[in-house]
Amino acid sequence: MRELAGNTPKGLSDKGCSGSPARALLRILRRTSIAGTIALVMLMQALEARAEPAFDAWRAQLWLEAQARGVKQAVFDRATNVQLDLGLPDLVIPGRPVKEQAEFVKLPADYLPRQQLTGLARTGARHFQSYRDLLARIEADYGVPGNVVIAIWGRETDYGAEVQRHPVFQALVTQAYLGRRKDLFRSELLIALDLVQQGTISMDAKGSYTGAMGHTQFEPSDFLKFAADGDGDGKIDLERSIPDALASGAKQLRDYGWQRGKRWGFKVRLPPTVSCVESSPDVKRPLEAWLKLGVMPVGDPGIATGMLQDPAQLVMPAGVYGPAFLVFANFQAIRSYNQSDVYALFVGHLADLIAGGAPFVTPWARLKPLRNSEVAAIQTQLNRSGYYSDAIDGRLGTVTRRAIGQYQRARA
C-alpha cells in the first residue's frame, strides 16, 4: 500500500511540542472556523443526478488512453462500467470532508495497540518457523530478514486472514474519478487493465480501497516493479501463493533501499536537553552523535561498532506522550511501503517482537485527536508566524509538530 497519525491539543506536549501556545492557536481556530454539514443521502442523490454525463465523458477520454495501450474494448467496458463507491476514503466530494485513511487520523495509541501487536507477533513467530527455509532463501536473495518479511505480511493482511472486500476495479475507477490523487489512480487503473489482459490479475479481484491486492497488498504498478516468483513455478500469484507474496514483499523493500545486515531502528530514552523539536526528517546525525547527546537505547538493541556512523533520525509520533525511537535507512525503506511513520514503526516493532524482542516500555497516552480543519488552521497560523512552510494539508505530521515545538520554545 501507499504522513502521520494525528495528535491532540495535549499531544502537542507542554515540554516542547504542545502546551498553552498550541491551545491558544486552537482557541483562535475555533472562533474563526465555519463548519458546514449536509445530509449524506441528499449529497449522494445530488451527485448521482449530475455525475452520469460527466462520468461518461471521463470514461470516453480514458478509453482513448486504454485503447492506445492495446486494451480491448470488452475488457475496458467490463472493468470501468461500475457504480462509484462514495464510501471510500480519500475522495473529494463537494460538501463533504475528505475521509482520511487510518495512518493519517488514528493516534499512535490506536494504531499501535499492544494487544494486537502481541497477537500478530505470536502468529508471526509460528509462520516464521513454518516458512524458515523459504525465508532463508528470500534473505539470501534480497537481504531482508525473515521476521521483517513476515511482519509486512502480518500488517498488511493479518497473514492472509483479512477479508479483501473492495472490488479492485470499482475502487480504482472511483479513486481515479473522485479521488484526491486522481492522476496517480488513473495510472494505476490503466496498469490494472493491462494486467487483466495479460492474465496476471482477475477482473473480479478484490483488495483494498486503493486497489492493492494479495497477501502483501500490491498496487497494480507494484506488480510491474516488484512481483517475484517465490515458489519457482514460472508464474506469479500474490493472492494464492504465499512464497510469491513474501518474495515480492522482500524485493520491494530491497528496491526501496533496505540495507542488508542493518537494523530499522530501536527505542530510546531522551535526556532533558533533547526535545521533540529534534524529531524531524531534516535532522539526522550519526548514531554516535546522538549517543554523545545522552540519547540512550532502551533494553539491548545490539549496537554494533559499524552502526556508529550510520545516519539516524529521532521519531516521536506522540511527542512526550509515547515512546521515542532512533531510526535508520531501513526504517525509510519500510516507510516507502506506506508513507507513514506509524506504519513503519508498526512493522519494525512487530518484526522485533516476532524475533523475541520486548514490548514498548513507555506507553502511548490516550488522547483526543484534532480535526483536520483544526490542524489546517494551526498550520496556517504557524505559516504566518514563519515557523511552517510545508503544505497546508490538515495532517499533524512530523514537520507540523516540529513547527509547533519551535513556536512554543520561542514563546517559553
**Could you give the CA distance from residue 79 to residue 172 in angstroms, rounded to a whole number?**
10
Q: Which of 141-150, 197-206, 242-251, 293-302 has the lowest mean pLDDT?
A: 293-302
**Could you give the CA distance from residue 104 to residue 276 in angstroms, rounded to a whole number?**
19
| pLDDT for the residue 308 | 94
Is 341 in contact with 3 (CB distance < 8 Å)?
Answer: yes
**Could you give the CA distance from residue 209 to residue 165 in angstroms, rounded to a whole number?**
9
pTM of the predicted model, to two decimals? 0.83
Q: Which of 47-56, 108-117, 144-153, 189-198 has the lowest mean pLDDT?
A: 47-56
* Per-residue model confidence as pLDDT tens digits over 190-240: 999 999 999 999 999 999 999 999 999 999 999 999 999 999 999 999 999
* Per-residue model confidence as pLDDT tens digits over 377-404: 899 999 998 988 888 887 777 788 778 8
Q: Spell out the long-range contacts of 282-291 with Cβ–Cβ below 8 A and sequence spacing 24 or more.
A: 283/313, 283/314, 284/311, 284/312, 284/313, 285/311, 285/312, 286/310, 286/311, 286/312, 287/311, 287/312, 287/326, 287/328, 290/314, 290/326
Mean pLDDT of the chain: 86
Q: Which spans in 182-256 are helix H?
A: 182-198, 220-226, 242-255
List % helix, strand, coil for the chain (3-state, nearest 5). Answer: 50, 5, 40
Residue 316 to residues 108, 156, 278, Cα–Cα distance (Å): 10, 23, 9
| pLDDT for the residue 36 | 42
Which of the listed ranges 19-28, 141-150, 270-279 does the model predict with the highest average pLDDT? 141-150
pLDDT tier at 30, thresholds 50, 70, 90: low
408 contacts: CB under 8 Å, gap ≥ 6: 16, 17, 18, 19, 21, 22
Report the DSSP beta bridge partners of residue 268: 297, 324
More confident site: 371 or 329: 329
pLDDT tier at 51, thresholds 50, 70, 90: low
C-alpha cell at 47: 451527485
pLDDT at 174 over 80: yes
pLDDT at 37 over 60: no
Per DSSP, 160 falls in state: T
Report the DSSP beta bridge partners of residue 394: none
| pLDDT for the residue 101 | 65
CA angle, 192 as apex, 190 and 196 as ends, to 5°? 120
- Residue (of 326, 322, 323) closest to 278 by Cα position: 326
Is 365 in contact with 348 (CB distance < 8 Å)?
Answer: no
